[in-house]
Structure formats: structure tokens, C-alpha cells
Amino acid sequence: MNKKPDRDVVGRFAPSPTGALHTGSLATAVGSYLMAKHAGGRWLLRLDDLDVPRQVPGMADDILRTLELFGLHWDGGVARQSRHRKEYEHFFEVLQHAGVIYPCGCSRKEIARSASAPHPEDESIPYSGTCRVGMQSGLSIRSWRIRVPNEEICFSDLRTGRRCQALSVVSGDFILRGGDGEFAYQLAVVVDDHLTGVNQVVRGDDLLSSTPRQIYLQQLLGFPQPEYCHLPLVVGPDGSKLNKRDNLLSHQLGSVAGREQTLLLDVLRFLGLHPPRELAGCSCNTILEWGVVNFMPLQLPALGGVINI
């Protein structure tokens, strides 16, 4: 019987309705589900739907139905970022009143031109701080940025161990809001998790480098810091990260019909588990029940790999 945790665990899966789920999405969904349920906790579902221009009509419903095909049933209703704009506005104003946000008139081209060599930890270009002391006259506001400290942000990841990052080097003063008024992912995800009580964040390794930015925002806003675990990435045959067109798993397209159990077992193996052969003929619900009992974060592999469909 699992030991009762010090606090009720609340995990989550937060896909974006910009395309169908793929095998990497499934690994993240299953990993987050198993970790929350192994601790006797709840598993929530949120649709990160702020990026309206990139959304695909009907894809939100397709994601929900695809998860259900694999026996992944969430607790409570489905949260949506698009319903939290008033809350983002409130906490943005809190940071404004604290004097840690400033307007920026720099374009991406100008930032790229002034930046040093790209940092290997992150795909983004570190901001050099041109507008930190004030925008040049005649410029329009392209974004709102937050001042970062000249010190490291550290945290412990359940899979990769202690991580430290100097925000001033990796990201610089990062964007919280666009000049058009749209809120950036870093602020939105921090507020979303706080609003729904999420205290366990399990997601892919590709988001590991952005975690210190989110922890910094949590500290400024007085939010409790969740427990983090970043899963190894599912990659393509050539070792590259999957994109929105690779290994698609779609209820709408029928691309997983009849193969749900096989794929689910493959995902368990990818996550370091060793399901017995007797599970091969079982339902997804039964396979997940076995996974919940036997899941151990310490068994997660150091490196990712391929999940074939």
C-alpha cells in the first residue's frame, strides 16, 4: 500500500490544441497520470489554448477523445487557459506594482543582433537588457519584460537531480506579455497551476530549461513551488525531437484504432517499467492500474528514445 504523502498530490497534463497528440504527448500524459495516481492524488487536464491563431478547429475535442481511448480519465472538468485572462491581468498588475516589469521596444531581429552566441540550455535568445533603463523615444511597446536577478535559481528535479540556472545568462529579462496584450506562456502556466492547486508538474525534458523562470515568478507572487519531474523525450528515428506531424495519435483520424493497448505497453517500457506478458491482452484501464502500482520515478531512464507506431 502506498505511503500517504505529506500533502494531497495534484498533477496535470496540459496539451495545446494546435495539433493531434503524438507518441511524445502520450508518454507525458501517461507519466504524469501514473505519478499522480501512484501518490494517491488527482490528475487534472488543462488545454493551453492561449495561442488562438495556431489552434486547429476540432482538435481540443480530438485530444480529449484520444486520451479516453487510452483509459486516461481526468479528475474534474477540463480547464482552459482562455478562461483565465482576468487572473493573468491581476497577477501581471501585482508584478507591475512591485516595480519588476518594464516595457520593451526591441524587435526579435534587434535582440538577435545584440545577443552573444546562443546558449545551449535554451532555444530562446537571451535578452541583453537594452530597454531595462528605459525605452528610446519614438519606439512602440513590443513586449513587457520582467527583471531577473543576477543570481542562480535552483530546484530539485525528481529525474535529473539538482538543477541551477542563471536567468541573466540563459534568458535575460524574459517576456511576460506582448505589445498586443497577449500573455506569455511563462506567466500563464504559473498562474494556471496556482489557480488549480497543481503541486506536481510532470512534463517533457524540452521544458526543463524554462522551469527556473517559472520558479522565479512563483517566488515573486508568493506561490508555493510544485514538485517537478521532467521526462525523457520521445524522438524520431533520426534522433530529432518530434513535431506536430510525427507519430500522430488521433481519435478523429482513427490512427490508433485497435492499437491502444500495444502502444500503452510500449509507453510503460519507455518510462522504465517492465510490464508482464499477461498484460498484452488486457484493457487500457487494467494496464494503467498495473502501471500506477508499479511506477517509480527512480526507474525513469536517463535518455529518451523511439516509440514506434
Reading the chain (309 residues) residue by residue, the pLDDT tens digits are 444 455 799 999 999 999 999 999 999 999 999 999 999 999 999 999 998 888 889 999 999 999 999 999 999 999 999 999 999 999 999 999 999 999 999 988 878 766 554 444 555 788 989 999 999 888 899 999 999 999 999 999 999 999 999 999 999 999 999 999 999 999 999 999 999 999 999 999 999 999 999 999 999 999 999 999 999 999 988 778 776 666 788 887 777 778 899 999 999 999 999 999 999 989 999 999 999 999 998 899 999 999 987
End-to-end C-alpha distance for the chain, whole angstroms: 34
The set of cell numbers assigned to 228 is 517537478
CATH of domain 10-83+197-299: 3.40.50.620
State how far the Cα of 301 lies from the Cα of 197, in Å rounded to an integer. Answer: 28
Task: Tell me the C-alpha to C-alpha distance, in Å, between residue 217 and each of 127, 187, 190.
Answer: 17, 7, 7
Domain ranges across the chain: 10-83+197-299, 86-186
* Cα R_g (the chain), whole angstroms: 20
Superfamily per CATH, domain 86-186: Glutamyl-tRNA Synthetase; Domain 3 (3.90.800.10)
